[in-house]
Structure 1
Amino acid sequence: MSAKKIREMSPAVKIAISFAMVIFVGSLLLSLPISNLDTSETTYFDNLFMAVSMVCVTGLFTIPVATSYTLFGQIVTILLVQIGGLGLMTLLATFVLKLGRKISFSDTLAVNEALNRSELSDFNHYLASILKYTLIIEGTGMFLLSFRFVPEFGWGKGLFTSLFLAVSSFCNAGFDNLGALSLQKYVHDPLVNIVIIALIVLGGIGFSVWFDVTHNIQSIVKKKVRSGWKRSYRLLKTHTRLAINMTVGLIFVGTLMFLLVEWSNPTSIGTYSVGEKILAAMFQTVTMRTAGFATIDYELVKPFTLLFFIFTMFIGGSPGGAAGGIKTTTFALIFLLIINEVKGQKYVNYANHSIPIELVRRAIVVVATFFGFLMAGVSILMLVENQPFIYLLFEAVSALATVGVSVNLTPELSPISHVVLMCLMFVGRIGPITILLGLNRNNKKTKDKLFAKTTILIG
């Protein structure tokens, strides 16, 4: 393929190809003898599934990382997760700019689209800040986790495990190198739980939110803002406030709902102390948003809890980060649209601002497209698997929302189902809308047409 054809590709196609390339290379690296333990019985199909899950920062697995891959294979895992979390085009663009070279306008658009960023200004500084903040946050997470894992595993393995979990948590991937039971061993460990929760939230709330919050904190420290923290919060961008409010609200509601339903369930958290119940409930709520870790066995929770988890996974995290799902702000726009429609208001408003109808339409399309891919995937799973519907739905949403939690079902599924899950993970990572834009080759020829108005009965 010539360089000219590559330059002429739409941003959506470039994003899809970049992820596909990393997946293919990753699957080859994971298939090397140096990547596999002598006792490992992995096939190329297993490694391909794992590569898709790693690059799409999902966390579903057909084989456990700890009992299948060597140190080299686990290093490849970290690299694939990190590339998947930040995006190959983001990393390449940053590298090229560091060399003092320029990137084309079309590539700039592609990177911006991959980051869910609409602004083109200050592009170089934005990319550099992403890498800087990523290294600082992951490094801090690794440092804190080392206080638990170094005493347990020794310096070498302890530091590597801390690094592995820090990168996986921040990128919302959900992979670990501890075994097949995720973090169930550490369900009562405050340090591990709180650090992982913080990393997941920071990685899933979006890069633009970091920068906006950081800018306001710096303004307070430098005494440029003299009205205190409350006024400083009001000075945050509307998107930032909405993302933060939705994140805090969903964590609070999810934690409360989990406690109400599972409080007395002896197979989940019924035998825990009050503090342990709250810690476990908060961890499951946060990880269900997009991360994929688990400190309890999801086969043992009540069916209503699984259904509620499916709802939270569907929402996911916030735009511009490593999170999946339809995104918190998309859900908020749909919710506000319904509320305003019930009130009979013409415009969708939030925080004394009116939201453009184009954004609301896009939110509706995102939800509809996401739901369409989900139903297609679940339908195929139902045709080829003899499993309870709630389990298959749980698995499909987990894949499409790039969450990665499972009711211990993924390894037992057929190859056809694994292909379905790989497709769902790929679509979920780069976005259903991005997929549709990439397929729409004639979008440049499309023109807006306005005909005579008509009326159609609905409802």
Structure 2
Amino acid sequence: MFSKKLRSIPPAAKIAISFIFVIVIGSVLLSLPISNLETSETTYFDNLFTAVSLVCVTGLSTLPIATSFTLFGQIICIILMQIGGLGLMTILATLIMRMGKKMRYSNTIAVKEALNRDELGDFKTYLTSILRYTFVIEGVGMFLLAFRFVPDFGLASGLFVSLFLAVSAFCNAGFDNIGTQSLQEYVHDPLVNLVVTTLIILGGIGFSVWFDVTYNVQSILKNKARGGLKRLYRKLKTHTRLAINMTVALIVIGTVVFLLVEWNNPNSIGSFTVGQKLLASFFQTVTMRTAGFATLDYELVEPFSLLFFIGAMFIGGSPGGAAGGIKTTTFALIALLIVSEIKGQKHVNYAHHTIPFETVRRAIVVVVTFTCFLLAGVSVLMLVEDQPFLFLLFEAVSALGTVGASVNLTPELSHISHVVLMILMFVGRIGPITILLSLSRKSRKTKDQLYAKTTILIG
């Protein structure tokens, strides 16, 4: 009876339930005495908030990881971030297939939706590759970060800090176990800045992009074909090219804008050298879209920078990875739709390909739904908090976009606001469409209806 009910649960609901399950278990584990330092002031509510933030790979917290949890507690944090970044269903599906067992079709569909994958072919290889690439990239990141943190913290502690930061960065979680000020102490450190940003980009660009690039690189090397990067770029899938183009464009534009706006601000980068300004601007731009680390105090930057960052957090990373937001490709489709409308074209085109209307419609629904959740969240925060609107908006977008950046506001908020942020983090990680689908109950009698056309004035 139970297995029948389980099979009848829609794929979207299975995704949501799997995250809720991990959050509840995580909050209990973090509340154990073995997880908390003797000087820790955490309550179960704090641990629940932290568990939601860890599993939803956001980075917001009411109390710092370093001053709250023991080694055991921090290991639990790493596990929760890893599960949150990859998804529980992805990990379980991989283990099941590795044991030679087959998954039910409904569960396969759920995993496919969790990964934002449009096909089921060779699923076992795909899932295994995700885990392999993840652990290899995080391992390399840990190795490189160890060159900085082992001298700073000693061998054992330095390696653990490197591991924690590598997993957090790749999963776009934004947590650290160094102190209370994120990575501000390393604002001028090229090694920490570049390794962390590389991990963030790799984790946020999407699994399908990795595999497409890797496959084509291997194909070119195997066939010893000439042409270099141009040939490689032409062979990539349309989605891969769009995701890469948008990622590069947003990073370049964001770095330049932040650099220009904050150039003379003595509270941020005004007193830095040119190289230090460029490094700090690049880091903030990368982390602000998906991860939430900070090498600067965001409370001290210009209001325009905060507003610009809100837009960057709203867009987020690319589909199929650990990043949040509406996603780069969704934003690109909306922009392409506007351009085609201005030109008077009936179809949305990109790179000599026409994008199906169903895809464009889904992009519109994602943006509208995302915006509705954001407005609802900000409205509640405005009702219960006496804080500047820009700060509340920044906090809400950071939660919904699973970014985790804060203007030092999270610990000061009320429990009601923390509940709102938890809901926004959960919706942002699962996806607003998945949330709506998990709550819907479509009747078998429901069919698409086509009536006589009519005209409605808009604009």
TM range (shorter): over 0.9
Q: How does 1:54-453 map to 2 (within 5 A)?
A: 54-223=54-223, 225-442=225-442, 444-453=444-453
Measured in 2, the distance between the counterparts of 1:232 and 1:131 equals 25
CA distance in 1 between counterparts of 2:58 and 2:182 reads 13
Unaligned runs of at least 5 residues, structure 2: none
SS at match of 1:354: strand
State the distance in 2 between where 1:396 and 1:341 align: 31
**Which position in structure 2 is the counterpart of 1:26?**
26
Deviations 1:185-219 (A, max 9, x none): 00000000000000000000000000000011101
CA contact (8 A) 1:315 1:326 kept: yes
Question: Which amino acid counterpart does residue 19 of structure 1 have in structure 2?
Answer: F
TM-score (norm 1): 0.99
Amino acid at match of 1:16: A
State the number of aligned residues: 459
Q: Cα distance, 1:223 vs. partner?
A: 2.2
Cα distance in 1 between the residues matched to 2:364 and 2:161: 41
Q: Render the CA deviation track for 1:59-97: whole Å, top value 9, x for unaligned.
A: 000010000000000000000000000000000011111
**Which amino acid in structure 1 is aligned with residue 89 of structure 2?**
M
Q: Take 2:341 and 2:218, find their aligned partners in 1: how far apart are those partners?
A: 40
Indicate the RMSD between aligned Cα atoms, in angstroms. Answer: 0.8
Helix, strand or coil at the partner of 1:349:
strand
Secondary structure of 2:408 counterpart: coil
What's the offset of the Cα at 1:345? 1.0
Deviations 1:245-289 (A, max 9, x none): 000000000000001100000000000000000000000000011
Deviation at 1:225, TM superposition (A): 3.6
2:101 maps to a residue whose letter is R
Residue identity opposite 1:274 in structure 2: V
The structure-2 alpha-carbon separation of the partners of 1:443 and 1:52, relative to structure 1 and needing over 3 Å to count, comes to: farther
Is the CA contact 1:57–1:81 (under 8 Å) kept in the aligned structure 2? Answer: yes
**Residue 346 of structure 1 aligns to a residue in which SS?**
coil
Q: Quote the Cα distance in structure 1 between the aligned partners of 2:177 and 2:228.
A: 44
Q: C-alpha offsets along residues 329-367 of structure 1, whole Å, 9 cap, x if unaligned? A: 000000000011001111100000000000000000000
2:48 pairs with 1:52: no
Aligned-pair identity (%): 75
Q: CA deviation at 1:164?
A: 0.2
CA distance in 1, matches of 2:34, 2:377: 35
Q: C-alpha distance in 1, partners of 2:394/2:446?
A: 38
Assess, with a 3 A threshold, how the Cα gap between structure 1 residues 147 and 445 changes in structure 2: closer, same or farther. farther
Q: Secondary structure at the match of 1:222?
A: helix
1:7 CA drift (Å): 1.1
Look up the equivalent residue of 2:321 and give its one-letter code: G
User: Higher mean Cα deviation, 227-236 or 239-248?
Assistant: 227-236
Aligned partners of 1:46, 1:158: CA distance in 2, in Å?
Answer: 27
Report the Cα distance in structure 2 between the residues aligned to 1:240 and 1:443, rounded to whole angstroms: 36
Cα distance in 2, alignment partners of residues 232 and 45 from structure 1: 50
- Looking at structure 2, the residues matched to 368 and 445 of structure 1 have their Cα atoms a distance apart, in angstroms, of 27
Where does residue 40 of structure 2 map in the other structure? 40
Question: 1:225·1:232 contact (CA, 8 Å) conserved in 2?
Answer: no
Deviates more, 1:133-142 or 1:215-224: 215-224
Cα distance in 2 for partners of 1:433, 1:63 equals 31
Misfit runs of 4+, over 3 Å: 224-228
Amino acid in structure 2 at the alignment position of 1:347: H
Distance 1:145 1:223 in 2: 35
Contact 1:53/1:61 (<8 A) preserved: yes
* In structure 2, distance between residues paired with 1:38 and 1:169: 28
CA distance in 1, matches of 2:370, 2:324: 11
The CA deviation at 1:314 is: 0.0
Counterparts of 1:384 and 1:232 in 2: how far apart (Å)? 53
1: distance between equivalents of 2:177 and 2:384?
A: 31
Q: Distance in 2 between matches of 1:446 and 1:39?
A: 58
Structure 1 contact 13–438 (Cα < 8 Å) conserved: yes
Deviation, structure 1 residue 444? 4.1
Offset of 1:229 from its aligned partner?
Answer: 2.6
Deviations 1:348-399 (A, max 9, x none): 0000000000000000000000000000000000000000000000000000
Determine the C-alpha separation between the residues in 2 that align with 1:35 and 1:225: 54
TM superposition shift of 1:228: 3.4
Q: Are residues 355 and 305 of structure 1, via their aligned partners in 2, closer, same or farther at CA, if it must alter by over 3 Å?
A: same
User: For the structure 1 residues 286 and 204, does the alpha-carbon distance in structure 2 shift closer, same or farther, using more than 3 Å as the test?
Assistant: same
